[in-house]
């Protein structure tokens, strides 16, 4: 089993709970994403406290239920956030990678958005309700159009549980 971890989740606190999302329903057999959650609500649900890297149909602030073995089993309430993800191609020269990543980091900061990086080649950006991020989207689109990366919205597929 390969675990995808969040080394610096945006909602990290001492009271966080860690659960898992099986990535097999999204074509990533044998992989699990470790998700950070806020402490349980009175009804036993949890709020997502990280920006999911690979889990589709899940975003920062969404409310989820867990199975007895701590896998996310359902999204019961969405927070209205969207996750924009970008992956740089593996053979991108280091100088080009650094330049493009620096542009993206600067625009994330300028837009006041939250992001999490998984290594140097993958970023997940939280787009909260009402956020205006056209400059960031334009920069990401430019990087994609140059053939340096791929991008997607995490909401392009619904959340699904393991079978």
Per-residue confidence (pLDDT) for residue 133, from 0 to 100: 87
Question: Which region, left, alpha or beta, applies to residue 30 given φ > 0 means left and ψ of -120 to 50 means alpha?
Answer: left
Average pLDDT over residues 31-50: 96
**pLDDT level of residue 156 (50, 70, 90 thresholds):** very high
Q: Where are the domains of the chain?
A: 2-77, 82-156
Decide if pLDDT at 151 tops 80: yes
Mean pLDDT, the chain, whole residue set: 95
Q: Which residues face 33 on adjacent strands?
A: 4, 21
Structure tokens given for 49: 């406290």
The Cα–Cα gap between 88 and 134 comes to 20
Per-residue confidence (pLDDT) for residue 37, from 0 to 100: 98
Per-residue confidence (pLDDT) for residue 11, from 0 to 100: 95
The Cα–Cα gap between 74 and 160 comes to 8
- Predicted structure pTM score: 0.94
Per-residue confidence (pLDDT) for residue 132, from 0 to 100: 81
**pLDDT level of residue 31 (50, 70, 90 thresholds):** very high
Please answer whether residues 120 and 51 qualify as being in contact, where contact means their C-beta atoms are separated by less than 8 angstroms.
no
Please answer whether residues 91 and 123 qualify as being in contact, where contact means their C-beta atoms are separated by less than 8 angstroms.
no
Contacts of 35 (CB under 8 A, 6+ apart): 6, 18, 19, 20, 21, 48, 50, 52, 55, 58, 72
Average pLDDT over residues 119-137: 93
The Cα–Cα gap between 49 and 37 comes to 5
Contacts of 122 (CB under 8 A, 6+ apart): 53, 85, 86, 87, 88
pLDDT (tens digit per residue) in 54-102: 999 999 999 999 999 999 999 999 999 999 999 999 999 999 999 999 9
Per-residue confidence (pLDDT) for residue 162, from 0 to 100: 59
Record: fold of 82-156: Alpha-Beta Plaits (3.30.70)
């Amino acid at each position: 089993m390969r675990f995808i971890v969040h080394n610096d989740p945006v909602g990290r606190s001492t009271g966080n709970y860690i659960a898992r999302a099986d990535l097999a329903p999204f074509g990533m057999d044998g992989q699990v994403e470790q998700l950070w959650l806020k402490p349980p609500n009175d009804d036993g649900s949890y709020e997502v406290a990280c920006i999911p890297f690979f889990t589709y149909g899940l975003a920062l602030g969404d409310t989820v239920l867990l199975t007895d073995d701590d896998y996310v089993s359902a999204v019961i309430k969405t927070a209205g956030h969207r996750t924009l993800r970008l992956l740089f191609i593996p053979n991108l020269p280091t100088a080009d990678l650094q330049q493009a990543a620096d542009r993206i980091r600067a625009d994330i900061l300028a837009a006041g958005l939250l992001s999490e990086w998984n290594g140097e080649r993958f970023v997940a950006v939280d787009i909260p309700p009402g956020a205006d991020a056209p400059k960031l989207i334009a920069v990401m689109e430019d990087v994609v159009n140059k053939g340096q990366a791929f991008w997607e919205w995490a909401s392009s597929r619904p959340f699904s549980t393991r079978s």
